[in-house]
Amino acid sequence: MNKYLKIFSGLVLGAMFCSSVFAGTYSRTYSFTDGTTAYGSQIAAELDALGTSVNNIVNAQIATGAAISDAKLAQIVTPSKVSGAAITLLTSVPSGAGELPSANLNIATQAEMETATDTDVLVTAGRSKFHPAVAKAWARFNGTGTPTISTSHNIDSSITDNGTGDYTLSFTTDFSHATPCVVANAGGTGGTDDQFVGINSSAAGTVRIEIWNTSSTAEDAEIVNVVAFGDQS
Amino acid sequence: MKKLIVILSLFLLPNFCLASSLDKSAVWERSDGGISILTFDTRDMKEGETEDQFTTRMIAKHQANFGSVAPQFVSKSNIPTDKTNRNEWSLKNGKVEVDPVKLAAKAAKEAEKEAVLSKLKISKEELEKLRGLI
């Protein structure tokens, strides 16, 4: 009887041990150098939490002095990954950062250029011409023989010769009004020819000028300079 | 062969470097008796624009100064190169030339001026000097 009791007790204890192992409730204990201990299941839970945290770093978890290396920063291509005043607080753009997207630049519109009062907008090459202080058209031409333009901006090279010292120039892009401010002078290459220039008429698309010598006689000029200011569409 | 290339280059180079114009000009006869001549400079031609489109566009720009008067196309060879009597030019039979009637009128005016100076017993130079003093 005693013998069977021992065998029975051994079977019961063995069954309990096996059930605990196969049910997964048994956990090994780990000892750390600082004297603390933890079950394997506890460590696994901590690791799972850490794994989740790595993918969801919040600002509070980043140390004040932490910085992202340039190499990693360069990999940010999704606009929503950068927010707040991170960029606007920069006093200068880091070297090698490349060109800022035009959407981040406050570029002056045509209307702002024409109003000419804003002091915090940027002027671009293509819109500088809209500022009222900028000459919209200019040319230098030789009025003797067939009138020939040597250099110009927004004035056609095809000139109408109306007579001695009398020329009509056309603007490549018209003015938005019929009364541009036209300034002109004339002279000779020798530097001794005193000549006077008058504006016969001007319109949105053309200007007619006349040249006389000191005897009030119409005269062609070797050098004629014309500049026009005003508003363009 | 090399000489030929050099000679050809010397002839062709100015055509690329200098302004060039069409062989024809648009000529208007103004109501005041004078004529206006529009020279078509090919530097104004737009890419893909034909010669006709170009001349039409340029004429339209200058037409406002001549009202309803339509221009005539005149070959450059039919326009004088000597502009001494430019204000006496007229357009006749598709040619621009010095108009003898206008020239005679100019001569008569000059003679009248000389007669006045003679009566005043002063020369042209003295008249200019006087003009400067006034």
What's the pTM?
0.70
Asked if the Cβ–Cβ distance from A206 to B62 is below 8 Å, we say yes
User: In this model, does residue A53 exceed pLDDT 80?
Assistant: no
Range name among A5-14, A202-211, B49-58, B66-75 with the lowest pLDDT average: A5-14
The pLDDT, as a whole number, for residue A68 is: 75
Q: Which chain B residues touch A if contact means CB-CB below 8 Å?
A: 19, 21, 30, 34-41, 43-44, 58, 61-62, 64-65, 81, 83, 86-87, 128, 131-132
Task: Locate A96 and state its tokens.
Answer: 């090698």
User: In this model, does residue A185 exceed pLDDT 90?
Assistant: yes
CB B69 within 8 A of CB A162: no
User: What's the pLDDT band for A79 if we cut at 50, 70, 90?
Assistant: low
Q: Which residues make beta-bridge pairs with A107? A: A122
CB A211 within 8 A of CB A176: no
The pLDDT, as a whole number, for residue A45 is: 85
Tell me what the mean pLDDT of segment B40-44 comes to: 96
Q: What distance in Å separates residue A157's CA from the closest CA in chain B? A: 6
State whether ipTM is beyond 0.85: no
Mean pLDDT score across all residues of chain A: 83
Q: Which domains does chain A have, with CATH numbers?
A: 2-54 (no CATH), 101-134 (no CATH), 137-229 (2.60.40)
Report which of residues A5 and A48 the model is more confident about: A48
Q: Which amino acid type is present at position B13? A: L
Residues ≥6 apart with Cβ < 8 Å to B16: none
The pLDDT, as a whole number, for residue A132 is: 95
Mean pLDDT score across all residues of chain B: 87
Q: Which of residues 28-57 of A touch B (CB under 8 A)?
A: none
User: In this model, does residue A162 exceed pLDDT 90?
Assistant: yes
Q: Which residues in B lie closer than 8 A to residue A163 (C-beta atoms)?
A: 34-36, 86-87
Tell me what the mean pLDDT of segment A148-177 comes to: 97
| Closest residue of chain B to A168, computed from CA coordinates | B62
- Of A2-11, A33-42, A65-74, B42-51, give the range with the top mean pLDDT: B42-51
Q: On the CB side of B50, how many CA atoms lie within 13 Å of its CA?
A: 3
For the beta carbon of residue B82, count every other beta carbon within 10 angstroms: 8
Which single residue is written with the structure tokens 């009398």? Answer: A166
Q: Which of B86, B98, B125 to mutate to test the interface with A (most CBs of A within 10 A)?
A: B86
Say which DSSP state A80 is in: G
CA pair distance A68, A140, nearest whole angstrom: 58
Tell me what the mean pLDDT of segment A133-143 comes to: 96
Q: On the CB side of A3, how many CA atoms lie within 13 Å of its CA?
A: 0
Asked if the Cβ–Cβ distance from B128 to A215 is below 8 Å, we say yes
Phi-psi region at A116: left, alpha or beta (left = phi > 0; alpha = psi -120 to 50): left
